[in-house]
Amino acid sequence: MQRDNTLEEESKSKIQLASNKLRNPQKSLRHYRVECSDTGHLRVKKIRYQTFAIIVKPSSSGEKTQRFLKNLIHLLRSQPFLRTLELSTILCRFPKHGLQILDPIFNKMKNLSHLDMRIISSVGLTNMSLFYLKRKLKSLKNLKKLQFNGSQNLSLNAKGIVLLIQGYCYSPHIESLNLDFNNFMNFSESPGFTLLKHLPRNFQKIKSLRLGLEKTSIKDDHLKEIGLLFGRLKNLQTLSLSIGNNQLITDLGISYLKMASRLLTSLKSIDIDISLPSQREDAMNPLLFQAINPIGYNLTEKSIGFLQEILAHSGALNKLSFRIANNNNFFTPLIFCVSNAIKTQQKLDELSLDLTGWTKVSIENHFHSRPTLQRTDLTEESRILQEALLSLHHIRSLSLIFTKSPYMTDSSVEILTEAIRSLLSLERLHLNYQSSYEITDDSLKAIGLAIDALKGLYYLDLDFRFCKSITDKGIMYLRRGLGSLNLLLELNISLDGCPRLSDDCLTHLSESFWGMSRLRQLALTFEKCYPMTNEGVRSLTKAMKSLTRLQGLELNFVNCYRINDEGLRRIQEAVSSLKKLTRIVLDLQFCSKITESQLNSAKAELKHLPYVRINF
């Protein structure tokens, strides 16, 4: 009890310190982030302009969390100048009256323009809480942007979305609305899901809308209401809709969205998610296959046509994001659909395709009531996608995700990289082949050749986690492409779970660093790369010293048990030589040969950095 009181007193003193900083006229327009947890930990940080953030970490009991919130709210009451407020709670307990604890904030902060609330898996959040929040939102006349994440709150249903939209759209300056209610199953119990009822006319001014309704048991009637809502938004420029993993949606629901899309002539960005959950291995059994329908559980080929029309009627897009993960049995027609849509978007700047779960199992006749299975490779689909990519002459950002695609072969990778190497305007590239087990060194050779042609890249993210056939020879091929990226600002390479990589892998990567004089952020992960030793770390850290502009560094050597104190000492020396470094994350868990004394020495030498995290 005495310890709890001490912790609370320390928290109050830190809150008061932040209050004094905020009241200082010379620092009155700063952004402070406050993190508090049930253990009494409180951290106050300056971040962006005119903003205050409250981050409440997971708590088993809500009493201390409520006390901390009240103390922070007392501080915020005297800060009417704030424009942005972030509140994030996970696994926390709200008081009996839910969000009424925030009443002093909304009464004082009349200038608030951006409200970001993430209340995930938190006890005490109900529809009544959102009704109260709706009333308070009406008083925020300057509110332009609302982000609300109520995922995994089982006491909410569809009426909660209606209440939030009604409250938010009373602001005359409304521009952006982001509502995320993924992973709770009470929508089917809400017959009164009427989004359009009582909405004021100024709601038509909205330019950005995101609805996260994944795994919510929504039906066709819900999609009809959502479609009617879209039809009202004449000025909508950015649309994001996540309706994956909903078994009750049929072709009729997708047709409602298609009809609404014809009215959305101002769209510049579309993000569609129609993913399914990962299927079990026994679902590949032909005897069980009859129970698995494409896309959802009640959709047919008609929905594919509707999706293609939605993308075709969307006008000249700048950004397209399409997630069709785990639709294993319907990938071919979906690839046709997406590829045809891409060909019509000649001005596309950003493209993101998530094809997670793309397997070698396909359907001979996709739309027969009793389909038969056949084994094939992905060459045909890869060529379809290649043809679409070749039409994107001006694209600047590309993300292709093939996670858990065990039958993605080297030939498919080579086909796609032939298209990528022709996209000379690319500035950002993300390729994810995690758990694609048939990927070998030949794939890395093709990717290295493609990267070598993209001289303008400033962001590169390569993920080869659990590609167990990759060896040091593949990293050598990749090095040849990496070494030519003189303009690169950020590099992320993930090689976790590749047990055939050794010190030579680190040596090859190190050789590519010498030409990256502009690099700002570097993240390398080698978890469970068992053969790696101090010798490889020595090569890596020697090259890292040449990255004089590096600001952020992340290194992961989890389970690399051959690395000992010498390896950590070399990392410590390299980091100390990087004068512009502000952030470092080292993950050395299960490196049993590293001693506690060397770990403490590293922490002491790096404590001058603004952000240091060492996991051991």
pLDDT tens-place string over residues 126-168: 777 777 777 777 778 888 888 888 777 767 766 777 777 777 6
Does residue 601 fall inside a structural domain? no
Return the pLDDT at 333: 78
CB 267 within 8 A of CB 239: yes
3-state SS, one letter per residue, for 468-529: CCCCHHHHHHHHHHHCCCCCCCEEEEECCCCCCCCHHHHHHHHHHHCCCCCCCEEEEECCCC
Structure-model confidence comparison of residues 265 and 601, the more confident one:
601
| Average pLDDT along the chain | 77
Whether 46 and 168 share a structural domain:
no
Residue 97 has pLDDT above 70, yes or no: no
Whether 57 and 148 share a structural domain:
no
* DSSP category for residue 328: G
Q: What is the pLDDT of residues 211-241, one digit of tens each?
A: 888 887 788 888 888 888 887 788 889 999 9
Q: Within a 10 A sphere around the Cβ of 599, how many other Cβ atoms?
A: 17
Q: What is the mean pLDDT of residues 424-434?
A: 95
389 — pLDDT class (breaks 50, 70, 90): very high
Please give the structure tokens belonging to residue 455: 């001289």
Does residue 165 fall inside a structural domain? yes
What is the distance between the alpha carbons of residues 366 and 294, in angstroms, rounded to a whole number? 9
H-state helical runs in 331-484: 331-343, 379-390, 410-420, 441-453, 472-482
Does residue 293 fall inside a structural domain? no
SS3 (DSSP) at 296? coil
Does residue 189 fall inside a structural domain? yes
Structure-model confidence comparison of residues 54 and 519, the more confident one:
519
Residues 6 or more apart whose CB falls under 8 angstroms from that of 399 comprise: 351, 352, 353, 428, 429, 430, 432
Whether 121 and 141 share a structural domain:
no
- In 3D space, the residue among 33, 88, 87 whose CA is nearest the CA of residue 58 turns out to be 88
192 — pLDDT class (breaks 50, 70, 90): very low
Does residue 462 fall inside a structural domain? no
Q: Which of 72-81, 188-197, 209-218 has the highest mean pLDDT?
A: 209-218
Q: Report in angstroms the alpha-carbon separations of 301 from 278, 289, 467.
A: 21, 17, 34
What is the distance between the alpha carbons of residues 423 and 395, in angstroms, rounded to a whole number? 7
Structure-model confidence comparison of residues 14 and 240, the more confident one:
240
Whether 16 and 42 share a structural domain:
yes
71 — pLDDT class (breaks 50, 70, 90): low
What is the distance between the alpha carbons of residues 399 and 57, in angstroms, rounded to a whole number? 32
Q: Which of 281-290, 301-310, 408-417 has the highest mean pLDDT?
A: 408-417
Please give the structure tokens belonging to residue 570: 């070399």
Whether 98 and 160 share a structural domain:
no
Q: What is the mean pLDDT of residues 328-332?
A: 65
- Domain span at residue 62 reads 1-125
Whether 103 and 139 share a structural domain:
no
Whether 159 and 247 share a structural domain:
yes
Residue 26 has pLDDT above 80, yes or no: no
Whether 63 and 143 share a structural domain:
no
Last residue of a domain, one of 75, 101, 125: 125
What is the distance between the alpha carbons of residues 34 and 163, in angstroms, rounded to a whole number? 29
Q: What is the mean pLDDT of residues 192-196?
A: 55
- The H or E element that residue 33 is part of is strand 32-36
- In 3D space, the residue among 117, 142, 144 whose CA is nearest the CA of residue 132 turns out to be 117
Backbone angles phi, psi at 256, to 5 degrees: -60, -40
Please give the structure tokens belonging to residue 446: 């093709």
Last residue of a domain, one of 267, 296, 323: 267
Does residue 604 fall inside a structural domain? no
- For helices 301-312 and 331-343, the axis angle rounded to 10 degrees is 20
What is the distance between the alpha carbons of residues 609 and 616, in angstroms, rounded to a whole number? 19
Q: What is the pLDDT of residues 463-483, one digit of tens each?
A: 999 999 999 999 999 998 999
Residues 6 or more apart whose CB falls under 8 angstroms from that of 24 comprise: none
Whether 120 and 177 share a structural domain:
no
Return the pLDDT at 78: 61
Whether 143 and 42 share a structural domain:
no
Q: What is the mean pLDDT of residues 262-280?
A: 76
Return the pLDDT at 376: 54
Structure-model confidence comparison of residues 159 and 317, the more confident one:
317
Q: Report in angstroms the alpha-carbon separations of 557 from 92, 526, 554.
A: 33, 5, 10
CB 222 within 8 A of CB 194: no
Last residue of a domain, one of 125, 159, 194: 125
Return the pLDDT at 416: 95
Number of domains in the chain: 2
Whether 136 and 45 share a structural domain:
no
Report the CATH number at residue 191. 3.80.10.10
- The H or E element that residue 137 is part of is helix 127-137
CB 200 within 8 A of CB 169: yes
Whether 81 and 199 share a structural domain:
no
> Could you identify the residue written with the tokens 């389970």?
559
Residues 361-373 as b or e (16 or more Cβ within 10 Å = b): bbbeebeeeebee
Does residue 198 fall inside a structural domain? yes
Does residue 210 fall inside a structural domain? yes
- The H or E element that residue 133 is part of is helix 127-137
